[in-house]
Amino acid sequence: MGNLRAKTLSEVYRDMIQINNEGTGISGTETQMQDGNGGNIPIKMSYDTINIKGSANDKNLKVTDEDNNLRFAVDLDQTKELRLYNSDGDEVVQFDSTTKFATAYGATLNGYHGYQIAKILPSDFQPNDDNSTYNLAIENDSAGILGLRPISSTLELYASVDIPLGLRASDVMVYDQSDNRTVEVYEGSITDGSITSKGSGSCNTLINITDVTGTTTNFLWIKVTTTSSTDLVFGGYVQLKSV
């Protein structure tokens, strides 16, 4: 539009930005901004908010330098709730409205505590009630090896593993000392103790289970059927993937 000097309002009113509020100005309620001809622009304003509206896959909010070079941009849509772009116009971060994760574009999901797995540590295992006297112990008689063993051959080992919200458990691995004992995987509930079988296999072999998506009340039970008091179990992991 340039300099307004020596121009009449009738010449420039279409290029002016106005608050469509019947002459009362800005208020505490978001009001549509318009050009001087009554055409809506993608901004609503109040005393303390700015609402920017745009179509999907557009860079709705741009920050440029004095030479109009793009420095930063934001894109809002219903699939990826918020996207951030770098100065080259490349997407660099996605805030996903479904999984609630912020991920670098092209990066692999960091998962749980920075891992794509949830580790199963020896301390996660507990004995069942098949023997009221004996428990589990850390076996330290072999040089350079520590493992968990049942004191009685009648015991089985159970581990419980949380599944974070926004992730799903897809595979389970448990390591033992070459005995390849049977492993069973269940989905458990913290509310009523119910369990549902999700798969089974053997130690030292990755077990593909029926996927279990994390909720506020579920988790995994992992059972290892040991058959000797010399069986050693070292731990394992649950493979996690985004929903």
The CATH number given to whatever domain includes residue 122 is 2.60.120.260
Give the integer Cα–Cα distance in Å for 153 and 133.
12
Q: What local confidence, expressed as pLDDT, does residue 186 receive?
A: 98
Q: Which of 89-98, 118-127, 203-212 has the lowest mean pLDDT?
A: 89-98
Last residue of a domain, one of 9, 30, 53: 53
Domain identity same for 68 and 122: no
pLDDT digits (tens, 9 = 90+) for 34-70: 887 888 887 888 888 887 776 555 555 667 777 777 6
Domain identity same for 12 and 75: no
Domain count, the chain: 3
Q: Which of 6-15, 51-60, 97-106, 118-127 has the lowest mean pLDDT?
A: 97-106
* Single-letter residue type at 209: I
Mean pLDDT of 1-12: 70
Give the integer Cα–Cα distance in Å for 3 and 243.
55
Domain identity same for 37 and 72: no
Domain identity same for 82 and 178: no
Domain identity same for 60 and 40: no
Flag whether 112 is in a domain.
no
More confident residue, 163 or 76: 163
More confident residue, 123 or 102: 123
More confident residue, 10 or 220: 220
Q: How far is CA 217 from CA 101, 131, 192, 228, 240, in A?
A: 20, 30, 10, 34, 17
Domain identity same for 124 and 147: yes
Handedness of CA 169, 171, 176, 177 (dihedral sign): negative
Segments forming the whole domain that contains residue 71: 55-107
More confident residue, 149 or 16: 149
pLDDT digits (tens, 9 = 90+) for 174-209: 999 999 999 999 999 999 999 999 999 999 999 999
Mean pLDDT of 116-126: 93
Last residue of a domain, one of 53, 75, 91: 53
DSSP state of 112: B
Q: How far is CA 231 from CA 7, 43, 127, 145, in A?
A: 93, 68, 13, 13
Q: What local confidence, expressed as pLDDT, does residue 23 receive?
A: 78
Mean pLDDT of 106-119: 62
Alpha helix (H) residue ranges in the chain: 9-12
Q: What pairing do the DSSP bridges indicate for beta strands 125-127 and 117-120? A: unpaired
Mean pLDDT of 150-168: 93
Mean pLDDT of 215-243: 94
Of 152, 201, 142, 208, give the one whose Cα is nearest residue 177.
142
Name beta bridge partners: 188: 195, 219
Q: What local confidence, expressed as pLDDT, does residue 57 receive?
A: 52
Flag whether 99 is in a domain.
yes
Mean pLDDT of 117-121: 94
Domain identity same for 130 and 221: yes
